[in-house]
Structure 1
Amino acid sequence: MNLLQHAGRAARSTVAGLARGIRHIWRTRIVRPALFGLSFAAAALPAHAAPPRAPLVSETPLPGAFALAGAGQAAMLVYDPADHAVVAHAVRDLAEDVSAVTGIRPDLRARSTAPKSRHIVLIGTIGRSRAIDGLIRQGRIDVRALRGAWESFLILTVPHPLPGIEDALIIVGSDRRGTAYGVYELSEQMGVSPWTWWADVPAQKHEALWIPAGTRRFGPPSVRYRGLFINDEDWGLFPWAARTFDPARGNIGPKTYERVFELLLRLKANTLWPAMHKVSAPFNADSANAKLADDYAIVMGSSHAEPMLRNNVGEWKGTAQDFNYADNPAGVRAYWEQRVRTNARYESLWTLGMRGIHDGGMVGASTLEGRIDLLSSAIADQRAMLRRHVSPDLSGAKQMFMPYKEVLDLYRGGLKIPDDVTIVWPDDNFGYIRQFPSDAERARKGGMGVYYHLSYLGAPLSYIWLGTTPPALVQEEMTRAYDAGARTVWIANAGDIKPAEIGVSLFLEMAWDIDRWRDRDQVGFLTDWAGRTFGPARAEPIAALLDEHFRLNFERRPEHLQSWLPGERPLYPPTTPFEIGNRYKISSVEIDQRLDRFRTLAAGSDAIRASLPQDYADAFFELVDYPVKAAAAANRRFFGAERYDSLVDTQPTIARDAGAAAIAADVELKALTRRFNETIAGGKWRYIITEEPADSQWRQFRTAPVSLPAPGLAGERPSIAPPSPLKDGGVLWQEAEQFVSNDGWVLHKSLGRGAGTMIAQHAGARLAVRMTVPAGGPRTLSLGMLPLFSNDGSDAVLHLDVQIDANPPVRLDVSHPAESPAWTQGVLDNLLAVELPDRLSPGMHDIVIVARSSGVALDRIASSPSAPAAAH
């Protein structure tokens, strides 16, 4: 049964059927078992859903429960005015949240002693709330578990805590952020999404709120510093802030950052690297920004290209050539030290090291040894500044070093980083972490971290439009990093924040509690997230829809559809049917299946939207409908235009109809984007979304605009029909999870094609598959692997053995160093194609793959007709 047949049914049956429909279509179209002569054995797979958290809030009264709100009354919210500023911010938000959920607005009192009220919510930080400290001294609250703990809190009920008070709900934090997180934890469990403002998610309505009796402890977090980097904001956050949200300032300023800080706290994050492109006013150029960050208890840092909290593109007044530590050390030192003096009183993460003015390589030395010496000198001088102005022994000055891009080569080449500095490992900008800590590095006093991209502007092609990094990849790589010891700093490059909400949510939830999502799959996370966002009744169909959306876009992002790179000759028209689509010669058959899957997704989104209450319409469009339909339209536009180009001379009717379909998709895409910017939430998000490419800036890193046929050249019927005759080149795909036997491999669901990717858990892990080759000539055999890096450092080579039948094993050493041609192809298609020297004859073959290193992830196996021998 397809999704369109569900659309006219009642809402409950519609949303229940959608999940089944998407899963059925996925199984029949992706796995394609008829192509293989296989014996299928299922792996031991992780469960879908995360273990349920004990409920903090109930709609019905229970014995001893605390009545937070109901029957027209709400408990008074009380905090000490001497507490940290962030506590007051959180308490005010809680009052709004209780009102949004129940329609009852609680009274709010800032006073050092409890008021004369029968029921109160008492909120405070140990050592800063006199009422709470008094209860601790009297033994009414046991906070031994909080003493000295980082960002932890208790939520507990206490009967008759003080004279005249019948009962209290107490939220007590070990520190200022712990208290704030406790407040926002209560809000979320009441039914207020962390994305209530940023994605217009409505509060889930309840007539009454009860807190069951008892004590619940939360924290400390799995990762100490957790946050976001606002980056490449030129085409979204900046124009929105400057022209819509804060036109009086005309830039990203305190009004915008206040909303960002609230979002971070609701997501239990604590760190921000602020916007830093030329269009944006430097964060610290306005002292109100730093003061506001401190009021919200947000730790400010800066990117790998901005040492010492300096925004080079906006604050360095000399020439780019003067930003040279070999020729102008005094000038650069003075520039850095000025910021250290002004921000010494704030909680900060100080980035050490040096690169060029705007994310380029460091200048001033030409050899490896010279660059290492120059960078070592800069780091020593930076630490001396921190000793002078922040902390004489540096214990109070948290420092980071990010070996990003070419700086990683310096670190691997012998650069020594002081032991108390946190080394923050980079990914390759496409979600694959380049290096993991060694045993010696795990023992470092400063610890380890990860800088991870959910959005990227750079080579070989950017992806700054739609947030399509699959949660499955985030979960796999960040769990791997945590287990390797990267537990001090996690920063995600979130671009403009919108539309990366889903990726941001998972990244920060894992940073807060890694075990919540350990060994859980993408569908499990999406089901949980959708239930919290849109209600449990709609969780499964929305999760199924998004799971397929992320799968399709992992095969090729909407920003990466073209088959050539900037600076290369465009491949129009493709020279053979196998070059339609991308560099990896996907066939016309696969293109048609891909477009069909996108049509199914768009229909599914329509059906779910029709089942939603009206107050969810804006949130659903922002978080689900726009990303799904924009990706679908981008694919129809691109492949329709490509089919027009390739067939207009040979099959003009099919070509012109495909051209018409491309034009219609372009019209739809622009209407969707216009709706996001002009209609959703009453125009709240005007200018926040721009279709990629939005302009001609940074064109060396961005996809080219799609060339559409003029309307007079297009056909009358918008339709992307298969070419005639339809050919697929005889390529046979076999998914790695369709194995005969397995020892030491685990299926990571939804990561890659088919059901997922098989990842070896240790050296020596053995996977056996069986492939049937049809009659005909011999065929080539290739492995499709995810472009992971091994745990061994130095962009280490992946090692594996492949044995076919009784032949001797073939040793494969798969090298794909970052920015190499192999890496470029691998990250654009999220697949490394590794061809074996063997040729397969017709018949059944047993293939055994043995991992010899970490990072070996097998997605699929392909066999193709061998190329004919060259004539002599």
Structure 2
Amino acid sequence: MEGLRLLSLLTRHAAGLIGLAAFLLGAPPAWAADWVRSVAQRGDFPLVARGQAARIVTDPGDAAVVQIAADDLKRDIGRVTGAAEGGAAQVWIGTLGHHAAIDRLVADRRIDVATLKGAWESFLILPVERPAPGVARTLLIIGSDRRGAAYGAYELSRAIGVSPWHWWADVTPLHRDALYVAKDARRFGPPSVQYRGIFLNDEDWGLAPWAAGTHAPDEKPLGPKTYAQVFELLLRLKANLLWPAMHKVSTPFNADPVHAALADRYAIIMGSSHAEPMLRNNVGEWTAPAEDFDYLKNPDGVRRYWQERVQSNARYESIWTLGMRGIHDSGMVGPKTVEERRATLERIFADQRAMLADAGMPQAPQVFTPYKEVLDVYRAGLKVPDDVTLIWPDDNFGYIRHFPDAAERARKGGSGVYYHLSYLGAPLSYLWLSTTPPALIRQEMGRAWDAGARQVWVANVGDIKPAELATDYFLSLAWDVDKLRAKPVDKFVEIWAAENVDAAQAPAIAGILRDYHRLNFARRPEHLQWNLPVDKYRQSPLTIDAADERLAAFAAMEAALAKMEPAIPAGRRDAFYELLAYPVRASAAANRRFFAAEAHDRLRDLDLAEATRRAAMAHAADETLRTLTWHYNRGIAGGKWRGMMAVEPADGQWRSYRLTPPILPAADAATPEAAPGPATRETAKETVVAPRDFVHGRGWRLIDGLGRQGQLLAVNGQGNTAGADAARASIILPAGRWRMLVDLLPAYADRDGDPLRLTVHLDGREEKLEARRETGDRDWANGVLDNRLSLPLPGAVAGGAHDIAIQARDGGVAIEAIRFVPMATDHALH
């Protein structure tokens, strides 16, 4: 009987049987690196064998971060195997030139470290026989610098099965009895992007209340207990830079000297956002009236304010933000014209750099971010010192506004990117769920990389949770651009799902996340209203049938989730909820609530019974949202995340660019007895030519994972896809009159200020189309909320067979679809 139960279990979990076979053959499980095995092969290093772990050895004279990483590795080995130190083997972790025993091996020419010398944040992992008297074998983890050594220790942690998200997403390591490291030497680094990090922002709605009420109630948020966890996460993700939280709710990072010293112990480079020059937190540290933050009227006071920070932080590794804006992410006070702002900024650059030089830091990394209105000043001829890195911002919605030109690429300071995965601002914020597709990150950051923006990459990650996947992808791309761009996004997500949720169901999880990003890219959960907060209410452009199709897609995604949930390993249930179940189910409930309420309003005078059913659906979805969010905050991980999750809008702040609280219909007790009237239904549907329907030449490429069709047809390089390189398709339309629309990704042209240009040939008739990108205008607002631009061809198209050819005149052109919309209903199918 016991054997039958075992056979049944193995039959129902075939993937587990495959994993068992892998163990028996010595291969690593799917969630671990291929160079750490559970069964020894000839020459392998015994990290954990016969219940004992190798002893980890550091040098007391090495950097603090090396000891921190070594201690974490020791704990991680215990988490995975339960073993304590006691084996004959040793692991030596150190920085080249700062670990005496490793340096003796170098001096004796026992190991070759030529590729490490002078390298940035690189490391070697290699076993050595008899490295010292009484030591039979050692595994060396050698860093070219202090971060390189720490990265090496955390790389081994990840290889044995400890996710970087083990603490932040409760990814419990899965047990292994033994660990053997393959004998070959491995080299990692240097990173593609020199400075890679995150910006904690808009922490009012998650990070700060969670830290104050749950994680560290004994310290004012955000304090050292929280920042220590952030720093460890950054090291595990091989990042090196943090812009700290800066809203009024948070303690200014540098106002407490404990923070800067802690960052230095973790070897994290500290910077500050585009609105906070010279490492000052203006909303928390500028105590004079806001109008005194004026470099024309009060230059001495402002200089003293900056000078204090230069003196207090000169001994730490920092990136200094130059320039000046208003107190809280607002325009500069004082200068009235663009020319006045230009002259004032150039004066400010000179004064700020003199402060750094006087403090002995003339070569300290310095950055300038032409964000929002400051980009107009830059375009007006602003002269930025040549060794200052220019950080180009996106438009806050994931589309980079400016790509370096030849002159900018030639600058000594190079270029970087400030990129948003979360945003508080116009036209509508997105602060709740993380819905930026990894494919969009790859597309836009890839364009930036190709244009030469390679020095600094910073992602605004909001509260960190629930942006785990997007943050991981962004930083992984920054570490090794070429390797990650060559890998399909779905493959990255599948590997990530295996590591963090369930290896046996990783392909299915990747499929759910693909649908999650596709559906929410069409309209984010925070953007489920079609009027801006300053406008009169207007209904969505979706008919009831179209909305029902959208809801059916969400329901299918939820069904797939429910099917896999029972098989999730017990130790990964919390991670499953945080990383997958909550975002999927909450976004689905938000859509049901909105579209059911809207259907009620549309049907109230036509079909009262159906309207009442829709009202009940909206209320049920609202209750589901409350239940899901309560469980996130209080149910999972023993209540660890109480205060972290808040459904948008979380409160009434910043109402001019926050979602209007949904108005639910009255909850009717019963279906009325009156005879229902006819519901409004579509009479004709649009016809779509998807990217996969085109035959295209070398000037085009398909981008997976983006757009409503799951793919985009994008231009390679700089465009000019003329002649044979045109993209071509044929279609047969039903009888009637149709309007032809070309749907584009709302990206920006390669050259600053240019429109997106393309030429459409319909049955030989040529039409030139342009999409001008003016950040802040209504077309831009609609484009980023829809994540598409719809360009109409003039006139009507008759039913029948048609041939289409498209040529693009800019590398930013990415086609989501060609749509043919019935002329009588095109207003309802925007």
Give the shorter-chain TM-score range: over 0.9
Per-residue CA deviations over 1:20-49 (Å, capped at 9, x if unaligned) read xxxxxxxxxxxxxxxxxxxxxxxxxxxxxx
Q: How does 1:679-828 map to 2 (within 5 A)?
A: 679-712=635-668, 724-727=679-682, 729-761=684-716, 762-765=718-721, 766-776=726-736, 778-794=737-753, 796-807=754-765, 809-828=766-785
Between the aligned partners of 1:10 and 1:326, the Cα distance in structure 2 is 76
Q: 1:813 to 1:551 in 2, by over 3 A?
A: same
SS of residue matched to 1:712: coil
Q: 1:863 to 1:786 in 2, by over 3 A?
A: same
Between the aligned partners of 1:444 and 1:430, the Cα distance in structure 2 is 27
One-letter code aligned to 2:48 = A
Q: 1:733 to 1:15 in 2, by over 3 A?
A: farther
Between the aligned partners of 1:250 and 1:660, the Cα distance in structure 2 is 43
Return the TM-score normalized by structure 2. 0.94
One-letter code aligned to 2:572 = Y
Q: 1:698 to 1:167 in 2, by over 3 A?
A: same
Where does residue 846 of structure 1 map in the other structure? 803
How far apart are residue 505 of structure 1 and its match? 0.4
SS of residue matched to 1:75: strand
Q: How does 1:590-739 map to 2 (within 5 A)?
A: 590-712=546-668, 724-727=679-682, 729-739=684-694
How far apart are residue 265 of structure 1 and its match? 0.2
One-letter code aligned to 2:495 = D
One-letter code aligned to 2:62 = D
Between the aligned partners of 1:70 and 1:337, the Cα distance in structure 2 is 56
Where does residue 462 of structure 2 map in the other structure? 495
Q: Is the 8 A contact 2:599 2:614 kept in 1?
A: yes
Q: How does 1:5-154 map to 2 (within 5 A)?
A: 12=13, 55-106=34-85, 118-154=88-124
One-letter code aligned to 1:818 = T
Q: How does 1:286-297 map to 2 (within 5 A)?
A: 286-297=256-267
Q: 1:15 to 1:568 in 2, by over 3 A?
A: farther
Where does residue 817 of structure 2 map in the other structure? 860
How far apart are residue 10 of structure 1 and its match? 7.4
| 2:494 aligned to which of 498, 508, 527 | 527
Per-residue CA deviations over 1:231-258 (Å, capped at 9, x if unaligned) read 0000100000001011011321001000
How far apart are residue 376 of structure 1 and its match? 1.0
Q: How does 1:373-452 map to 2 (within 5 A)?
A: 373-391=343-361, 394-395=362-363, 397-452=364-419
One-letter code aligned to 1:680 = I
How far apart are residue 700 of structure 1 and its match? 0.7
Q: Is the 8 A contact 1:589 1:728 kept in 2?
A: no
- Larger relative contact order (C-alpha < 8 A, sep ≥ 6)? 1
SS of residue matched to 2:504: helix
Any gaps of 5 or more consecutive residues in structure 1?
1-7, 17-50, 108-116, 575-580
Q: 1:383 to 1:716 in 2, by over 3 A?
A: farther
How far apart are residue 363 of structure 1 and its match? 1.6
Q: Is the 8 A contact 2:606 2:679 kept in 1?
A: no
Q: Is the 8 A contact 2:369 2:390 kept in 1?
A: yes
Q: Which 10-residue stretch deviates more, 470-479 or 449-458?
A: 470-479
Q: How does 1:25-424 map to 2 (within 5 A)?
A: 55-106=34-85, 118-391=88-361, 394-395=362-363, 397-424=364-391
Where does residue 478 of structure 2 map in the other structure? 511
Q: 1:380 to 1:729 in 2, by over 3 A?
A: farther
Q: Is the 8 A contact 2:32 2:158 kept in 1?
A: no
Between the aligned partners of 2:595 and 2:142, the Cα distance in structure 1 is 57
How far apart are residue 730 of structure 1 and its match? 3.4
| 1:485 aligned to which of 421, 430, 452 | 452
How far apart are residue 741 of structure 1 and its match? 4.4
Q: Is the 8 A contact 2:31 2:161 kept in 1?
A: no
The total of aligned residue pairs comes to 799
One-letter code aligned to 2:65 = V
Between the aligned partners of 2:10 and 2:436, the Cα distance in structure 1 is 33
Between the aligned partners of 1:594 and 1:662, the Cα distance in structure 2 is 15
Per-residue CA deviations over 1:424-473 (Å, capped at 9, x if unaligned) read 10000000011111111111111110000000000000000000000110
Per-residue CA deviations over 1:701-724 (Å, capped at 9, x if unaligned) read 11011111222367599xxx9973
Per-residue CA deviations over 1:376-397 (Å, capped at 9, x if unaligned) read 1111111111111142xx22x1
Q: 1:753 to 1:387 in 2, by over 3 A?
A: same
Q: Percent identity?
A: 51
Between the aligned partners of 2:91 and 2:169, the Cα distance in structure 1 is 28
Per-residue CA deviations over 1:378-426 (Å, capped at 9, x if unaligned) read 11111111111142xx22x110000101111111110011110000100
Between the aligned partners of 1:491 and 1:349, the Cα distance in structure 2 is 12
Q: Is the 8 A contact 2:543 2:681 kept in 1?
A: no
Between the aligned partners of 1:654 and 1:257, the Cα distance in structure 2 is 52
Between the aligned partners of 1:374 and 1:511, the Cα distance in structure 2 is 34
Q: Which 10-residue stretch deviates more, 760-769 or 464-473?
A: 760-769
Return the TM-score normalized by structure 1. 0.89
Kindly report the root-mean-square deviation, in angstroms, between the aligned alpha carbons of the 2 structures: 2.1
Q: Is the 8 A contact 2:33 2:160 kept in 1?
A: no
How far apart are residue 480 of structure 1 and its match? 1.4
Per-residue CA deviations over 1:133-187 (Å, capped at 9, x if unaligned) read 1111011121100000000000000001111111100000000000000000000
One-letter code aligned to 1:772 = I
Where does residue 5 of structure 2 map in the other structure? none
Between the aligned partners of 1:482 and 1:768, the Cα distance in structure 2 is 29
Q: Is the 8 A contact 1:194 1:263 kept in 2?
A: yes
Where does residue 545 of structure 2 map in the other structure? 589
One-letter code aligned to 2:690 = E
2:426 corresponds to 1:469: no
One-letter code aligned to 2:354 = A
Between the aligned partners of 1:174 and 1:686, the Cα distance in structure 2 is 41
One-letter code aligned to 2:743 = G
One-letter code aligned to 2:815 = L
Where does residue 512 of structure 2 map in the other structure? 545
Per-residue CA deviations over 1:499-542 (Å, capped at 9, x if unaligned) read 00000000000111112211433312211111122343121011
One-letter code aligned to 2:655 = R
Between the aligned partners of 2:446 and 2:740, the Cα distance in structure 1 is 32
Q: Which 10-residue stretch deviates more, 176-185 or 197-206?
A: 197-206
Per-residue CA deviations over 1:62-110 (Å, capped at 9, x if unaligned) read 1111100021111100000110000110011001100011111226xxx
SS of residue matched to 1:258: helix
SS of residue matched to 2:335: coil
Where does residue 3 of structure 1 map in the other structure? none
One-letter code aligned to 2:602 = S
Q: Is the 8 A contact 2:606 2:677 kept in 1?
A: no
Q: 1:832 to 1:137 in 2, by over 3 A?
A: same
